[in-house]
Amino acid sequence: MVVGGGEAPTYNAAVFGRSRTLAGPAAQQLGAVSYLNAKPLVYGLDQDAGYSVRYDVPARLPTMLDRGIVDTALVPVIDMIAPDRSWKIISDACIGCDGETLTVRVFSRVEAERITRLCVDGDSHTSIALADVIWRERFGRGLHIEPYRAGDDTAEAILLIGDKVVNHHLIDFDLQIDLGGAWKSLTGLPFVFAVWAAPAALDTAHLARRLGRARDEGVNHARTLAADLGPGLGWPVDLAVRYLTRRLRFTLGPRHREAMQVFFDLVARHRHSGPVRQPVFA
């Protein structure tokens, strides 16, 4: 459990969730997830003149990095093994879990083993691949994946990620399956959803140190972040505190690296793509 340390600034949620332009023209451009789960990782960066933070949903951040809109981005981990990309993981700061996440969930009208069609949140990349792996490993078959459209009354099961899981009321769906918990049950391992990535040729030594410091400070002030930002994102404060201090993991340690490799190997096995490209660490 994380405890706060020292005096923490009070953040305005309406500002903290948007791109900031306080930095100078030579500032490094960072792409960050707009959900509550990323706030400890960018603590203080939006107030640092050396950095400019752009916020978006996970699925859009890889394209921002591809196009050079940002110098580094907190990308879905599945995008690290795309064959047409030359990226490296530049920090041990990450968004991960070691069991249930609260915010990566399948909502279903039928039992898990009877799900055949999964409508998926367009904000996600990694979670879609994770759901496919879990169903193939646990039930021996894949799922028919299609986009989720709000108000679709025919959806058998829906995958949602992020803050919307907390404030989206799917009252007709009796079953909820937390994918972090399902992965833990399947493998005994933690899971990594997103990592800081940058082009392989970029010199990132200084940036890596700054991202690590931001993570450390953010984790130490997780309670303050939960209280200041949670309500504006639809979170009850107590639940936001529990989420940031007990459910999530923000450091890419040896077990999380092992889990990444297991996940990548399972993705390759079920996609029949052969060995995947190994992620590069700076």
Q: Is residue 4 part of a domain?
A: no
Comparing 23-37, 134-148, 175-189, 224-238, the range with the smallest average pLDDT is 23-37
Final residue of a structural domain among 146, 167, 187: 187
User: Mean pLDDT, to the nearest integer, of 176-181?
Assistant: 97
pLDDT for 10: 35
The amino acid that residue 270 corresponds to is H
User: Total domain count for the chain?
Assistant: 2
Give me the domain span that covers residue 199: 13-96+191-281
Within-domain flag for 6: no
Question: Which amino acid is residue 17, in one-letter code?
Answer: G
| pLDDT, tens digit (0-9, with 9 covering 90-100), for 96-141 | 999 999 999 999 999 999 999 999 999 999 999 999 999 999 999 8
Is the separation of the CB atoms in 179 and 101 below 8 Å? yes
In a domain, 2, yes or no: no
19 pLDDT exceeds 70? no
CB neighbourhood size of 171 (10 A): 5
Pick from 168, 50, 176, 47: nearest CA to 108 = 176
pLDDT of the residue at 274: 64
- Residue 216 falls inside a structural domain: yes
Are residues 272 and 145 both part of a single domain?
Answer: no
In the listed set 125, 159, 187, which residue is the last one of a domain according to the structure?
A: 187
Examine the domain organization and report whether 115 and 142 are in the same domain. Answer: yes
How sure is the predictor about 273, in pLDDT bands with cuts at 50, 70 and 90?
low
- DSSP-assigned states of every residue in 88-112: EEEEEEEEEESS--SSEEEEESS-G
More confident residue, 50 or 9: 50
Q: What is the CATH number of the domain that holds 39?
A: 3.40.190.10
Residue 162 falls in which region: left (phi positive, over 0), alpha (psi -120 to 50) or beta: left
For 104, 109, 136, 154, 175, the CA distances from 116, given in Å and listed in that order, are 19, 12, 11, 13, 15
Residues 53 and 27 in one domain: yes
Min mean pLDDT across 58-62, 150-154, 183-187, 256-260 is at 150-154
